[in-house]
Structure 1
């Protein structure tokens, strides 16, 4: 298929148009309207492309369901196809028509049962503006590639997820993890074969980036099996849709459910675990969790789930499994309610591989400082350098570029630097260079060093402070200049003080 011309700002144009059409629905509701239509348009485009191919073949198979399912294309009944939706886009019945289309698609595709949003007949949704939105989305060829060869569908979906997360503020974080953080975890773990798991999967960003990594390295997406769990019902549906349009098969369990109290992958061991669980959750505990087999290193405090998440993931790691987890910085040093003892036990058992301190303002939804924990079930794996009783610390707090006043992103080069450092340290790096400690950035610390720091894992304690570049000016000369400047500032301060006193006296006040 020929590439359709794509303007560089088409996503922003689409967002602005959709924002105007939003009317009086808040982003939490409106995102389902937009993303649902994008989903419907995409699967209809895929269907009609295959349909036209079969018509050209002239064998009369264009209405044979198996001709589509064999190619991993969703079967779209006639009344649900985009061409049929467009016919009634300008009528008051358009909302009912779309809801009926969603029901029809679910009925014909078991994997989408109870997944699609049927919200289009909502009285709050202006039907005239809904018709305009259909025109806008209808003008985008979601099957095409842009001039860089990237899929338009993926760009639209990821762009909207990020925009809606921003619009919703704190609540948006439940379904969206910043792309640069996901890329960092994926680049460090390099999931290529085996089971990939996210116990707090949101809209499925970890899985999408894993697929992109595999494709970029000429691997086969079918070599990984994807497992996830999500407790929020609407986010669970969003994940299903996000992965369905990309052809990623995923086991999200039978239903949305709490990972701690209803672990839907209880018996499975995973090769790669990647997660951004909610930070510092206070109300996760239930009586059924008392004495749980997952608490290998100690019972986590009932008022904070950080160490419950860590131990849940360790429990699910395969013998050679690795994990990358985003957590609040407090997890690195807290001693509250036995957390310090759990961290000590984890370190003594040699499960902690690497800690990365992240820069601030990476998250749209929280200002809490964050870090990455990398865990390794087998640090004596013969495929890697032996790092028994050692932990790599990376301080990336000076990295990142501000793209908005309150939002920072890691560049591709910075992500690669973190990943390369980790792989060099592990001995799994195929490029040039050997691992070396870098003052102010990375440090290989022994368990004895960590013990001397009371098992605190804050990278700044270990990497040291980067030396400033020598400007060639002798110290004595610098001090002479600084002293003169300070004397001048003191003089100006005294003059200002006398001027203030003078003005106060003129007003009848004495000091």
Structure 2
């Protein structure tokens, strides 16, 4: 790759090759027809493109006839020499044009992070519906990716796209989309990446020309970070099969940071199954500028390979991307000429067609994998692709570490005895959106020195469950596991047992691994050394959990005393009752006469596209109604701009939320800290009406009545009648509510609140006792603590 960021292996058409070679286009066609060794074309849709590198290699032996040579071309000058000279001239012209656009103030300084986040929210929210029409969300994301790619890569065609709206026809709108797609495909070809963005973009059906212009304007100022977010969106929306889904960025960062040391000399990074380029992207982010860096990747999936090419081109680092297969060891000899310092990969270990075939004359380094076991073929492919002293991190199914198959056990044993396995990290379940399989990270190395122990890290309990979608590893968890692996590798600062974020780590000696039948499952080791703290540390930890238990017991005793002080008595026989058994000063009132009932915003006003974990204001959903309160875990949020448009759906302290559609559950009370939050489509908000400056019903009293099993049963009965239970505001308004005077409501609320507090502190006591017992068991059952 040269200084323009263009690949030496760019893909060119016949016309472009002819222009560079200084010949007519039919001459290129004749070369292809007459000579069997002329490079084969790469077909993308209806077009045929040629690898520039391959054509240059073929033309190196074709001298230009004397009658066709220019005056400055000496005898022996080849067509390849002419093409290289013309390439330098055209690339320098491209650089000058990019510099002039910069001097003219083309893009200016990037907006701040908040502004870019809002632009992205608009693009993924309202603009998505306006532009995609009958097209899919992935087609729309192809448009966004193309626009950001063109801008960040400095394509001259990006600056020529319209930024102001003028009345245009539908044909003009289609032409603009086609222009964007062709510009993106041209930029991809010049970087050696098969094109194909146009075919997706032209499927969009915008409402009007101005909507496309607005999308172009909103992508101005977006950069590499936003491009990565769009790639993640594409991966989550495209419904990719397991062989194509993208690796979560937190997992990629963990693999990269745990593999790369502070003073790393890595120069060549390889991913044999590149997906969207997330592994190579992360390596370039960390290593670019530290040392001369070359990236290489392969993938059989042309669509995701295209995304990888776009993703990596933005770093300006030399990258070689090739169309590979799900079983590269079946197609060629071991890649001795492409050995890498570092390999990061997430191969399709369950892919069909990846079954290893017999390799004539070539030995598997640790024996041929059994039929139907591509995981062990990938491991060996990775190891032979490493340079001496090179390292690799490979995503593997958890089952690969402890499978009972004899040949798989023999391969594991050979790798262990050869010192090829450094570390195994068991990851939390449900991290990958496209698969539920549990996985481990295998840290491998190619070294003559045999390590006397293997590090096993059990991180299965880390990560947070997102509101929707897969589990997520936090930055803290990534740093914690990285620190554990790096400390063990350095031989300083590492301690066995429970680590800072809760993960368990054990450095098992080789004799222990042999005794376990070469199992490489962390569960077979960390459970044995569950308590590896020193006796002093164990005693300190047990004392801390005992203090927490004692504090919980004191709180419980105080609350129990307060509840015991409450007194209740039977209704005096002298109090007159109404016909339905209520005291005379009570009334039975329809709920609609006591509160204002409002349904949540329609789905079109609060779609999934405008909600994310990175917004400003939380959105309450039915799943957040728990035991009369709003549980603020795993909440999605919206930006201030979106919330402003939904102001009438903001919550106030004392509001009550009920389920509108879906499974009925007890309602919840809005507290002070939740003022201004939004409630979602599937909820109903109840807000007490007032008379003479006083509420007609107290929220605490009403919440208690709505939470009665009998009331919840009433709600469920009236929500029946459709495939999905639904309770309308009009129906809820009919619910009869027994209503005592306000003073009596206050006394009832106070008594029930006291018992609610009692329930809460007793749960906290149980949690403290459970934690204390777990701590004692871990240390007592391993002999670190001794009962006296």
TM range (shorter): 0.7 to 0.9
Determine the structure 1 residue equivalent to 2:282: 209
Instruction: Find the counterpart in structure 2 of residue 60 from structure 1.
Output: none
Matched residue pairs, number? 418
Deviations 1:48-94 (A, max 9, x none): xxxxxxxxxxxxxxxxxxxxxxxxxx5x3xxx344345579844234
Question: Normalising by structure 2, what TM-score?
Answer: 0.49
- Once residues 193 and 524 of structure 2 are traced to their aligned partners in structure 1, the CA distance between those partners, rounded to angstroms, is 51
Q: Is 2:254 the counterpart of 1:171? A: no
3-state SS of 1:252 partner: strand
Q: CA deviation at 1:104?
A: 6.0
Verify: 1:199 aligned to 2:272, yes or no. Answer: yes
1:12 corresponding residue in structure 2: 121
Question: In the superposition, relative to structure 1, how do residues 174 and 448 fare at CA in structure 2: closer, same or farther (>3 Å)?
Answer: same
Q: Distance in 2 between matches of 1:100 and 1:3?
A: 25
The answer as to whether partners of 1:392 and 1:442 remain within 8 angstroms in 2 is: yes
Cα distance in 2 for residues equivalent to 1:452 and 1:402:
36
Task: Look up the match of 2:622.
Answer: none
Give the match for residue 319 of structure 2.
Answer: 250
Larger Rg: 2
Provide closer, same or farther for how the CA distance between residues 257 and 456 of structure 1 changes in structure 2, counting only shifts above 3 A.
closer
Once residues 159 and 409 of structure 1 are traced to their aligned partners in structure 2, the CA distance between those partners, rounded to angstroms, is 15
**CA–CA separation in structure 1 for the residues paired with 2:150 and 2:210:** 14
Flag the 1:294–1:317 CA change in 2: closer, same or farther, 3 A.
farther
Paired residue secondary structure (1:472): helix
The whole-number CA distance in structure 2 between the counterparts of 1:107 and 1:356 is 42
1:140 corresponds to 2:213 = no
Residue 697 of structure 2 corresponds to none
- 1:495 aligned partner: none
Alignment of 1:288-307 (within 5 A): 289-291=358-360, 293=362, 295-307=364-376
Aligned to 1:22: 132
User: SS state of the match for residue 433, structure 2?
Assistant: coil
1:340 is matched with 409
Deviation string, structure 1 residues 266-311 (Cα, Å, up to 9, x no partner): 5221100000112322421364x53473621111133131111100
How many Å apart are 1:29 and its aligned residue?
A: 4.0
Note if 1:83 corresponds to 2:160.
Answer: yes
Q: Is the CA contact 2:252–2:282 (under 8 Å) kept in the aligned structure 1?
A: yes
- In structure 1, the residue matched to 2:142 is 32
Report the equivalent of 1:472. Answer: 546
Change in CA separation of 1:456 and 1:279 when aligned onto 2, cut-off 3 Å:
same
Compared CA separation, residues 13 and 179, structure 1 to 2 (3 A): same
Change (3 A) 1:462 1:81: closer
Aligned mates of 2:307, 2:197 — CA distance in 1: 9
Counterpart of 1:260?
329
Q: Deviations 1:190-243 (Å, cap 9, x if unpaired)?
A: 16532100001111111111122236xxxx155221111111011111111111
Distance in structure 2 (CA, Å) of the matches to 1:443 and 1:121: 51
> Are 1:420 and 2:483 matched, yes or no?
yes
Deviation for aligned residue 1:314: 0.3
SS of the counterpart of 1:36? helix
Match for 2:459 among 386, 396, 404?
396
Residue 340 of structure 2 is matched in structure 1 by 270
Q: SS in structure 2 opposite 1:229? A: strand
**Distance in 2 of aligned mates of 1:116 and 1:257:** 20
The reply to whether residue 226 of structure 1 matches residue 295 of structure 2 is yes
CA drift at 1:263: 5.3
Q: 1:82 to 1:360 in 2, by over 3 A?
A: same
Match of 1:285 among 331, 349, 355: 355
Change (3 A) 1:188 1:174: same
Q: CA–CA distance in 1 between the matches of 2:205 and 2:256?
A: 41
Q: Equivalents in 1 of 2:120, 2:164: separation in Å?
A: 25
Distance 1:447 1:457 in 2: 11
Q: What's 1:444 paired with?
A: 507
| Alpha carbons 2:455, 2:508 under 8 Å: kept | yes
Q: Secondary structure at the match of 1:341?
A: helix
TM-score (norm 1): 0.73
* Aligned partners of 2:271 and 2:298 also within 8 Å: yes
1:9-54 deviation line (CA, Å, top 9, x unaligned): 44333212354233333345443233223223433xx3xxxxxxxx
Equivalent residue, structure 2, for 1:309: 378
**Match for residue 119 of structure 1?**
199
- The answer as to whether partners of 2:426 and 2:457 remain within 8 angstroms in 1 is yes
| Aligned partners of 1:236 and 1:256 also within 8 Å | no
Is contact 2:268-2:341 (8 Å) kept? yes
What pairs up with 1:350-361 in 2 under 5 angstroms?
350-361=419-430
Displacement of 1:351 after TM fit? 0.5
RMSD: 3.2
Cα offset for 1:112?
4.4
Between the aligned partners of 2:186 and 2:234, the Cα distance in structure 1 is 29
* Structure-2 change in CA distance of 1:30 and 1:330 (3 Å): farther
1:379 offset after TM fit, Å? 6.6
Structure 1 residues 401 and 240: CA distance shift in structure 2, 3 A: same
Can you give the 5+ residue segments of structure 2 that lack an aligned partner in the other structure? Answer: 1-107, 532-537, 550-788
Q: Secondary structure of the residue that 1:184 maps to in structure 2?
A: helix
1:14 to 1:173, Cα distance in 2 relative to 1, 3 A: farther
Secondary structure of the equivalent of 1:135? Answer: helix
Moved more, 182-191 or 33-42: 33-42
Deviation at 1:435, TM superposition (A): 1.7
Looking at structure 1, the residues matched to 193 and 303 of structure 2 have their Cα atoms a distance apart, in angstroms, of 14
Aligned partner of 1:320 among 389, 400, 424 = 389
**Partner residue in 2 for 1:456:** 519
**Partner SS state of residue 356, structure 1:** strand
